Amino acid sequence: MWSLTCPLLLTFGFLIPTNVGLEMSRCKLDIAFIVDSSSSIWVKDFERQTSFIHDVVDSFESVPDDVQIAAVSFSNHVFDEFKFNAFSDRDSILDAVSNIRYSKGDATRTYLAIERMRTDLFAPGNGARDDAVHVAVVLTDGGTNPGSYDQYSNSEGKAKTQEEAELAKQAGIYMFAIGIGDGVDETELRGIASEPDDKFFFIVDNYDKLDTAHIKSLLACRACRAPTFEFTTTNARRAADARYSRQVSADSAREVCHGDPVDIIFILDESTSIRSQANFKKELDFVRDVSDMFDIGPDMTHVSVITYSDESQMRFTLSKYTDKSSLEHAIENIDWSTGNTYTNKALDLLLSQSLTEVRDGVSHIGIVVTDGKSTDSKKTRQSAQNVLATGNIEMFAVGIGGAYKPELDIMASKPSEDYVYQIDNLDALESLKHKFAFRICKEQPGCSLAEGCNQYKADIVVVSDASTSIGDASFAKQKDFIASIVEKYNIGPDGVQIGMVSYSDDAHVDFNLNRYGSEAEIMSAITEVKYLTGVTYTDKAIEMMTQQSFTSGAGARDGVPKVGIIITDGVSRDQVRTQEMARNAKAQGITLFAIGVGSSIDLDELQGIASDPAPYFTFMVDDFASLVDHEDILIKKTCAGPAPEPVAKRDSQYEIEDMKSLFHLLEAKAQRGS
């Protein structure tokens, strides 16, 4: 099991060892799959559908102890596949998923399948648990069609499906709806899905697009985090909200958080607008109560508190208090200072001190609490970008009263709707504490990555070094790395397009941006890329990328970010021209990431290739086998949009003069800890 931790920047990165892209832990789920097996689905596509379900189930590491699975299939009739208590071992469950029947019926009676799920799979005695989150996943390639089996018209059948979905939601079941292909009734599926439907509804162009690592990761993440999404307060949601309230009691939050070490940094507003020590104490009570949900100890959860007004103060570091009693005493003795709201100074302190003290192998969480707009919004924006650019912390923002929403969004991890909380007043922190602790403990490695890149749209060309110095084995590892990053994007003409250029003596376009429209096609094409051998003419590759790959004829789209990822293991044969070609590419609006592999790299040349600020866009790794350790931070940066602006000189205790100094500071810290 790996953690959310990402050792930093030029020499370290994430490691993702699973085929889906992450291993899910800390989830107690009962998931029922409702699988369309009607005749409109071709047999090969049905196999892709069951492969998708298999991989989603396999991404949960604690099947069947914490995560239980059940399934029904449907077409003209509903077929019981297996109940939650049918199997007691993981392999049997995965085998059962792979063997879901393909009935090829001539109708699509979705309403019967949803009813069977609710009244049978989740009925007492069939294995569903009261203390687990109940989830249903409907997969279909069309809309409800009663056929000749019921006395319903198509419109009546669709209405019946909505009725059954509503009854399921009223029973506290979180409903996911996945539509595949161009025959999907989107209105019907959005009605089936829980709210907000942008979290519970998926639509993909075809079954190849369904059977991708990105969609699998996204569904697994959202299933695990389903109770943390905000619901509207309609009558249809009351049962689900009530069920959720039971799940996030103090005892249940402690149970979810038990045994999982986390580094948590609270960043508290103590400006004059808080108005009194009594009000400030409500913030401290929130810190104490959230911390109480965790196991505090030398090898367990560590907590730190930063406060800010005119200046920022490190009230205590992560390693200062390693037992619950001393931690609570320290929290209670923090005084209120008053002053302006220099949020940026607190974020700078988080960056320069806290993030150099966090531990490897645990999740890192930052929680900013504020009741208004920062005094220096521009500097707060820059400081927030610098914190998020590390890829080493998940940031939550809690806004009280009139807190400025755009600034909360800037400070929080992405997507901001998952990481921003707005409440009416300080008293409301009391009602938030259990939900917040539960949310932190449900934070899954890689989930923010999957969510953050879900709506990302870009044209990306990977430029691969195929010179003789690489060697066959390392070239294969380079291709594995490229394939691995492809899996993390939402591939398609309305998402991310991928092209590839390889080079040695000359450059060669392996495939253009518009050549392949699915992840599967791109993965297959990467395996076919030939190892060229020769010397390292990086200039020719960058020139070809700019002049051929990023043209409209090759599939480059207007108004879409253009990203080039340059991989090399040595010094280019013509360094002057390489720099010239890189400048030309950047002048045409192409963002360049430069990845240097091995000990023969010229760092100055590499940073000359990279976009500005160069340290942000430059990666150095020891060998090609280590490339995979960097894929998540690379993807986070590509999906994050514009790079952080250089940091202006601060007047705080921990000055960082510019972005390069920042990256050197963090790199040195990472190296000392390795």
- CATH number of the domain bearing residue 405: 3.40.50.410
Compute how many other C-beta atoms are within 10 angstroms of the C-beta atom of residue 82: 20
| Residue 442 reports pLDDT greater than 80 | no
Considering the domain architecture, whether residues 44 and 112 belong to the same structural domain is answered as yes
Task: Determine which of 251-260, 365-374, 390-399 has the lowest per-residue pLDDT on average.
Answer: 251-260
- Give yes or no for a contact between 478 and 522, defined as CB atoms under 8 angstroms apart: no
Nearest Cα neighbor of 137 from 87, 97, 107 is 97
Give the chain's mean pLDDT. 85
Report the pLDDT value the prediction gives residue 635, as an integer from 0 to 100.
81
In a domain, 427, yes or no: yes
- Give yes or no for a contact between 440 and 416, defined as CB atoms under 8 angstroms apart: no
Q: Which of the listed ranges 171-185, 200-214, 244-258, 474-488 does the model predict with the highest average pLDDT?
A: 171-185
Report the pLDDT value the prediction gives residue 61, as an integer from 0 to 100.
85
Considering the domain architecture, whether residues 458 and 422 belong to the same structural domain is answered as no
Considering the domain architecture, whether residues 397 and 353 belong to the same structural domain is answered as yes
Both structure tokens of 337: 């200072």
Considering the domain architecture, whether residues 282 and 424 belong to the same structural domain is answered as yes
Considering the domain architecture, whether residues 611 and 469 belong to the same structural domain is answered as yes
Task: Determine which of 237-241, 277-281, 367-371 has the lowest per-residue pLDDT on average.
Answer: 237-241
Close Cβ partners of 37 (under 8 Å, ≥ 6 residues apart)? 46, 73, 74, 75, 79, 100, 101, 102, 103, 104, 105
CA distance 165 to 188: 10
440, 470, 487 - which closes a domain: 440
| Residue 494 reports pLDDT greater than 90 | no
Considering the domain architecture, whether residues 313 and 200 belong to the same structural domain is answered as no
225-271 pLDDT, tens digit each = 888 775 433 333 444 444 444 445 566 566 667 677 889 999 999 99
pLDDT band at 23 (very low <50, low <70, confident <90, very high): low
Close Cβ partners of 202 (under 8 Å, ≥ 6 residues apart)? 176, 177, 178, 179, 215, 218, 219
CA distance 134 to 129: 8
440, 475, 503 - which closes a domain: 440
Considering the domain architecture, whether residues 146 and 176 belong to the same structural domain is answered as yes
- Give yes or no for a contact between 240 and 169, defined as CB atoms under 8 angstroms apart: yes
pLDDT greater at residue 635 or residue 593: 593
Q: Which domain holds residue 364?
A: 262-440
Considering the domain architecture, whether residues 95 and 53 belong to the same structural domain is answered as yes
Considering the domain architecture, whether residues 288 and 318 belong to the same structural domain is answered as yes
Nearest Cα neighbor of 466 from 532, 535, 565, 527 is 532
Per-residue CA distances from 398 to 46, 205, 415, 436, 456 (Å): 44, 37, 15, 10, 25
CA distance 244 to 247: 5
pLDDT band at 570 (very low <50, low <70, confident <90, very high): confident
CA distance 339 to 415: 31
pLDDT greater at residue 673 or residue 116: 116
HSE toward the beta carbon, residue 661, CA cutoff 13 A: 12
In a domain, 665, yes or no: no
In a domain, 670, yes or no: no
Per-residue CA distances from 139 to 154, 176, 180, 524 (Å): 19, 9, 8, 26
Output the pTM of the full model: 0.64
Report the pLDDT value the prediction gives residue 128, as an integer from 0 to 100.
96
In a domain, 650, yes or no: no
Report the pLDDT value the prediction gives residue 25, as an integer from 0 to 100.
58
In a domain, 247, yes or no: no
In a domain, 611, yes or no: yes
In a domain, 295, yes or no: yes
Q: Which of the listed ranges 26-35, 64-73, 227-236, 358-367 does the model predict with the highest average pLDDT?
A: 64-73
| Residue 29 reports pLDDT greater than 60 | yes
Average pLDDT over residues 89-116: 97
In a domain, 161, yes or no: yes
| Residue 288 reports pLDDT greater than 80 | yes
Considering the domain architecture, whether residues 183 and 133 belong to the same structural domain is answered as yes
Domain count, the chain: 3
Considering the domain architecture, whether residues 486 and 383 belong to the same structural domain is answered as no
- Percent of the chain scoring above 70 in pLDDT: 85
pLDDT greater at residue 444 or residue 219: 219
- Percent of the chain scoring above 90 in pLDDT: 60
Considering the domain architecture, whether residues 86 and 186 belong to the same structural domain is answered as yes
440, 475, 494 - which closes a domain: 440
